[in-house]
Amino acid sequence: MTTATGIAFQLLQSVFVVLAAPLLLGWVNQCRAWLQNRSAPSLLLPYYTLAKLFHKDAVIAHDASPLFRLTPYVLFGCMWLAAGIVPVLATDLPFAPAADIIALVGVFALARVFAALAAMDIGTSFGGLGARREMLIGFLAEPAMLMTLFTAAFISGSTQLTTIVETLAHREFAIYPSLAFAAVAFGMVLLAENARIPIDNPATHLELTMLHEALILEYSARHLALIEWAVAIKLFAYLTIGFALFAPWGIAAAGDWGTLPLAVAALALKLALAGAALALVEAVLAKMRLFLAPEFLSTAFLLAVLGMLIHFLVQG
Amino acid sequence: MSGSPLTGSLVALLAWLAIAALSLLPGRDAWFARRLAFPLGALAGLALAAFGLQAAWAPVAQMTLPLGLPDLPFHLRLDGLAGFFLTLLGAVSAGVTLYANGYFRDETSARLTLISLQYHVFLASMALVVLADDAYLFMVAWETMALSSYFLVTTDHRLPAVRSAGFLYLLIAHLGAIAILLSFGVMHGGQGDYTFNALRAAELTPFWATAAFLLAFFGFGAKAGMIPLHAWLPEAHPAAPTPVSALMSGIMLKTAIYGMVRVIYDLIGGVRWEWGLLVLAVGAGTTLFGVLYALMQHDLKRLLAYHSVENIGIILLGLGMSMVFVGFGQTAAGALGLIAALYHTLNHAVFKALLFLGAGSILRLRGLRDLNDMGGLIRTMPNTAFYFLVGALAISALPPLNGFVSEWLTFQTALQAPLLEHGVVRSLLPLFAATLALAGALTAMCFVKVYGIAFLGQVRAPRHPVHAPAAGAGRDCGGAERMGMAWLAAGCAVLGLFPASFLLTLNRICVALLGGGVPESALESSWLWLVPTSAAQASYSPVIFLAVIVAVTWLTFLLVRRFYHGRVRYSHPWDCGYPEQTARMQETADAFGQPIRHVFGPLYLMKRHLPAPDDPAPRYSLRIEDRHWYLLYLPVARLAEFVSAKIGLLQRGRISIYLLYSFLTLIGLLVFVR
């Protein structure tokens, strides 16, 4: 395995993730439409929306600072980096050691801070409100996320996602109760971090309910397209982090190109299932009041801590 | 002897003292203090930083100065740890001093002379604290540092608030100093002299070692601002002129960390893990308290002061983890924790000084300290806004800047927990790491608030200006200020992007202190990678991290331009179609903290008045107070007043009664001393 092919594969994977991410969003929307007994939109609708937005002229407020125009690109860049680090198809990623799971949480935090700053840039009341709520969810979700990741890190003795996948995927089949707790916690964090029901409703524009939408209210055209695309990549990345930690089967091992088609098939299957599950969760649950979010996320945190303690008990 | 780092540092220290003395030169318009003192001081700082860095790699140097009392000469010693803190002091003070040259431009000659004198004495005393090698010199330097900074804090002594802030600072500083003095006494153990060598050699029973540790922890903690001894920090920092706040928060608090590391690891030795747990508990409390109260502030300098409390807590978390590991005999993991703590010490010095300087520019040029008066400063002060953004991202522990590296290292230390044999301690360590994660995210929220309200948004009409805007309002800060901030901002970037070589230096210090460090092979592998233990376990490469983000961002920009277009139309803000938007409808600092008050309500002492619906003149008011005042400070103050009132009964004001006291005392002495 030379470095050149490694880097080629690295690029290929990140481009694949970036291009495939809107498809996942389309699939979730389709499932949700079926569950709600509506006729489903096309699977490719997110792509059409992005193309439409890219063609439009951007409308920007008079007072916007350079930060406002820079932010969509930064968000996109952060998510691209995340997509390049997570082992989606194979564990042989030469750039993956550049950031471990803690740095990955840092990437998402960086994106969140830039989004919140851009929201406050124009000085509208909705922007500030969105920034405040987004940061609220952020500080509630981050400790829970780290605890989840710590549990996986303690089991595999590493904070490198690639190493974690290699350890977990090739272990003897055994039930890890700690991982079960961590998986539930991770699912809850995923819902919160990706602005899904029950924390936020991606389908509404009501000022009382919105978090994410309030942040990007002032954006239009290509800037909005980049942000929406970044959101899709974020969901994709979170789901694949989940697969890497809790269902790493099928990911091709280092240097093993023969199993790559199998890895693609396994990924497609897992994403289809996870997307359907996400749609089901969103169809069954109602959106919570904003100040129930702390309870929701502290439950996630406690579950993650429980998982970690169980790991120590079982092992020690 | 010539050219050794110790001589060099001593020369730099004397240069500061000379500058302080020369500032008193009479002359028209205090020309020395105005033109030369601060640039020369910055040069001396740079030299000191260079010598400190050299010392980290050189053998330990010692020197005895024939000064001080008879038979009590001053001992100096420069080892790796001292070298590291000298580097911190020199490098950070260089940026601040350069900035101060511009900041104090409009001061009157008399005030400037005094400021320059105290400022440079303050710097020299901090260097002497780090160089001291006997308890006597250490206490002399420590007290000089406290006094010179007290005079700097009370520069505006005509304001009653400043006087009381200064008094509180002096009081707590002296409480701490007494504890440190007693700690030296305990370590001394009754034999030998008070050189650090003798203290190192003294054998202490576990009881007395713990007593010495507790006294030192309390004493240095009072200077560092850990709870419950933090009360002076949010009062003194806003009262002082801004470069002084930057020095105090950036560097002076760090001399307390130096003292803790020196006393606990070096002088007492034989670290026990129970001590580590205490440090961890206090550190976690300090971290959360600091950040939660910072989120409630709307005075920018007070807010930054509370963040100093928080960051001291983060340093204590790293230190505590290190002590737990060392106590259990896991030297490598202990070294990792100590490296994390020391690196955060350096990082905090750099970015906190930078943030204070940014706040100082706003205060000097706009006369504003209240966040609710600011707004849209990014358009009129683009340079300050840029440097402040760097500092804000760094303190929020966001990659690829320096704050993230030290938090990452602290997390990695916590992840070594499975090495511990004690089940409870093993499960506690990750929970302390979770505290750190929570604090990091809350800090990010706080700085989104600061930056969003002060620099972004629309300009607000000031309601509580501290003073009128400087002449030519509307401009950005001058060249000297800009250079000072650029130096510190570059520090944030370099420490964040190339941590490996600094960590190698820190590892040397750990080897000297603990007798073992992190495996050097891992650290040495490449400047590009940060690998604390082994590559399979964890690695981080800030350079690649940054390169990928920048490359992708740039590529996306080009691709969008290539395949679509870059057309822009300017218009009014959309704001859901609401047309009557004014600057007063923006988020305020207090509104931004509302979710925090909701979630963490029980932790605050809130005094809130909500007007009734039929109130003809509705006023909404909210006061957040510190519980420590009511639970600790005021009872202690009342007790002290009660006791002194009782002692005051002895004072009758008649000479015959005083003669009687003397007579009784003599009789007593004759009875007991035979």
B189-227 pLDDT, tens digit per residue, is: 777 788 888 888 888 888 999 999 999 999 999 999 898
Residue B157 DSSP SS3: coil
Residues A117, B553: C-beta atoms closer than 8 Å: no
Q: Is the ipTM of this complex over 0.95?
A: no
Any B CB within 8 A of A311 CB: no
The helix or strand, by DSSP H or E, that contains position B352, with its residue range, turns out to be helix B331-366
Interval A202-230 mean pLDDT: 81
Choose the weakest-confidence range: A225-239, B33-47, B353-367, B414-428.
B414-428
Locate the chain B residue with the closest alpha carbon to A76. B553
B99 is written with which tokens? 């900035």
Average pLDDT over chain B reads: 88
Q: What is the count of structural domains for chain B? A: 1
Residues A125, B575: C-beta atoms closer than 8 Å: yes
Say yes or no to pLDDT of A30 above 60: yes
Asked, for residue B134, whether it belongs to a domain, the answer is: no
What pLDDT shows up at residue A117?
93
Any A CB within 8 A of B393 CB: yes
Q: Give residue B508's pLDDT band: very low, low, confident or very high (50, 70, 90).
A: confident
Any B CB within 8 A of A147 CB: yes
* Cis upstream peptide for B400 (omega within 30°): yes
Say yes or no to pLDDT of A255 above 70: no
What pLDDT shows up at residue A9?
79
Measuring CA to CA, how many Å separate B401 from each of A114, A268, B350? 14, 36, 11
Residue B240 DSSP SS3: coil
Spatial distance between the Cα atoms of B319 and B325, rounded to a whole number of angstroms? 10
B46 touches B91 (CB < 8 A): yes
Choose the weakest-confidence range: A53-67, A76-90, A203-217, B571-585.
A203-217
Residues B572, A61: C-beta atoms closer than 8 Å: yes
> Per residue in B15-27, pLDDT tens?
999 999 988 887 7
> Per residue in B278-290, pLDDT tens?
999 999 999 999 9
Measuring CA to CA, how many Å separate B337 from each of B429, B477, B632? 12, 39, 32
Question: Closest Cα of chain A to B306: distance in Å?
Answer: 18
Q: Give residue A205's pLDDT band: very low, low, confident or very high (50, 70, 90).
A: low
Question: Strand locations in B19-167, DSSP E?
Answer: 61-65, 74-78
Asked, for residue B493, whether it belongs to a domain, the answer is: yes
Interval A218-241 mean pLDDT: 92
Any A CB within 8 A of B584 CB: no
Locate the chain A residue with the closest alpha carbon to B550. A77
Any B CB within 8 A of A74 CB: yes
A81 touches A109 (CB < 8 A): no
Q: Report chain B residues whose CB lies below 8 A from the CB of A125.
A: 575, 578, 581, 585-587
Please give the residue range of the domain that contains residue B401: 274-300+307-569
Interface of B with A in 448-487 (CB under 8 A): 448-449, 451-453, 456-458
Q: Give residue A172's pLDDT band: very low, low, confident or very high (50, 70, 90).
A: low
Say yes or no to pLDDT of A90 above 80: no
What pLDDT shows up at residue A10?
82
Interval B360-372 mean pLDDT: 89
Asked, for residue B388, whether it belongs to a domain, the answer is: yes
B56 touches B84 (CB < 8 A): yes
Number of residue pairs across A and B with CB atoms under 8 Å?
Answer: 263
Q: Give residue B524's pLDDT band: very low, low, confident or very high (50, 70, 90).
A: low
Choose the weakest-confidence range: B288-292, B538-542, B548-552.
B538-542
Residues B552, A315: C-beta atoms closer than 8 Å: no
What pLDDT shows up at residue A170?
72
Average pLDDT over chain A reads: 86
Say yes or no to pLDDT of A5 above 80: no
Torsion angle of alpha carbons B371, B373, B376, B378, nearest 10°? -50
Q: Give residue A256's pLDDT band: very low, low, confident or very high (50, 70, 90).
A: low
C-alpha A203: how far from chain center: 18
Beta bridge pairs of residue B299 = B370
Q: Choose among B449, B544, B571: nearest Cβ to A59.
A: B571
Q: Give residue B105's pLDDT band: very low, low, confident or very high (50, 70, 90).
A: confident
User: Residue B11: exposed, middle, or buried by beta-carbon count in 10 A (0-12, 13-18, 19+)?
Assistant: middle
B70 is written with which tokens? 């008879």
Spatial distance between the Cα atoms of A25 and A45, rounded to a whole number of angstroms? 9
Asked, for residue B620, whether it belongs to a domain, the answer is: no
Interval A52-81 mean pLDDT: 90
Q: Choose among A57, A102, A113: nearest Cβ to B396.
A: A113
Residues A103, B399: C-beta atoms closer than 8 Å: yes
Say yes or no to pLDDT of B519 above 90: no
Helices (H) and strands (E) in chain A, counts: 11, 1
B44 touches B16 (CB < 8 A): yes
Model pTM greater than 0.90? yes
B227 touches B286 (CB < 8 A): yes
What pLDDT shows up at residue B1?
42
Decide the pairing of beta strands B61-65 and B605-609: unpaired
Q: Choose among A102, A135, A157: nearest Cβ to B411.
A: A102
Torsion angle of alpha carbons B366, B371, B375, B381, nearest 10°? 40
